[in-house]
A = this chain, B = another copy of it.
């Protein structure tokens, strides 16, 4: 077993051990993979919820309020806040994190922030590993929160059982310009800050777009829930929609399917990483270095060198 993480203590839900386990895995320490393999049999119980949307939609507040709601049902909540916009908006996001303070002193809530930058294995890998640790430690519900820019919301959707896309009335014109990708990942929408002007129009725009989704009588019908998260309005309705979606997924086997697909992707990723580590031994590194002069002088192409290395 692993010397650095006390597995029985982790399984008992000890907060320090959880924090240490996540860092241990994040830093890609020797034995991290063996540790994850060891705790895997204790995972699979937590329900995983992704919350994404544009900057300023109130995702953190909503996550905070949802966590409070689940706490009132005596459930244990893990929150993984993913911050992919660090370069230019560091300050603003720091503000977001502060808004989590309502639940952060609660023993039944564990919050972990993750930055996507500088991550070796990518965001999805880190998020999943932290989620598995919290899952094994007995958390009932895992909330992944991320701002939707570029790739991160797809990673989150890939890691979640239910994905909630949060918009605001100001998203207005943007709603119609939203790309198919976001529409596909949303199991339902939340129109937050619904006390502001333009809320009804925004709801109608979303519904109109949802109407274009191909569906038959067996399909899940995505809907829009209105909320004013900072006043706690709509939070119960959101939790009810999540529950409804969960029941739907369980009733027709799609939860199992979704989770199987996630496992397949996970295994593919492990193999890809292992290959890279094994392939680049000293001999191949030297061969590559000896060829770079030829590439720089256009005597051979990168594709030809790759072929040679793979021989």
Contacts and interface: CB of A to CB of B under 8 A. Distances in A.
28 contacts: A37-B302, A37-B303, A38-B301, A40-B302, A44-B296, A44-B298, A53-B88, A84-B150, A87-B179, A87-B181, A88-B148, A88-B171, A90-B174, A91-B174, A91-B176, A92-B174, A116-B150, A117-B150, A150-B152, A151-B151, A264-B288, A267-B306, A270-B306, A271-B310, A272-B275, A272-B276, A274-B310, A275-B275
Interface stretch (A16-24, A212-220, A255-263): A255-263
A221 interface: no
Most central of A94, A118, A260, A303 by chain B CB within 10 Å? A303
Given A87-B148, A117-B154, A267-B302, 10 more contacts: A54-B89, A86-B150, A87-B181, A90-B174, A116-B150, A118-B181, A260-B296, A263-B302, A271-B279, A274-B310
A298 B259 CA distance: 12
A309 B182 contact: no
Contacts of A87: 54, 148-150, 153, 178-179, 181-182
Most central of A87, A92, A305 by chain B CB within 10 Å? A87
8 smallest CB-CB distances across A and B, nearest first, come from A90-B177, A91-B177, A40-B301, A37-B303, A54-B88, A270-B306, A84-B150, A37-B301
Contacts of A36: 301, 303
A93 to B, nearest CB: 9
A260 B54 contact: no
A122 to B, nearest CB: 9
Contact of A298 (B41, B117, B296, B310): B41
Contacts of A271: 279, 306, 309-310
Contacts of A124: none
A210 interface: no
Given A117-B150, A117-B179, A272 B272 contact: yes
B84 A149 contact: yes
A207 to B, nearest CB: 18
A304 interface: yes
B276 A292 contact: no
Nearest to A148: B87
A66 to B, nearest CB: 21
A85 interface: yes
A152 B152 CA distance: 12
B40 A303 contact: yes
A33 interface: yes
A260 B292 contact: yes
A279 to B, nearest CB: 7
A85 B178 CA distance: 10
A153 B85 CA distance: 11
Given A85-B149, A89-B54, A264-B288, A306 B40 contact: no
A84 B41 CA distance: 37
Contact of A91 (B86, B173, B304): B173
Interface in A264-311: 264, 266-268, 270-272, 274-276, 279-280, 288, 292, 295-296, 298, 301-306, 309-310
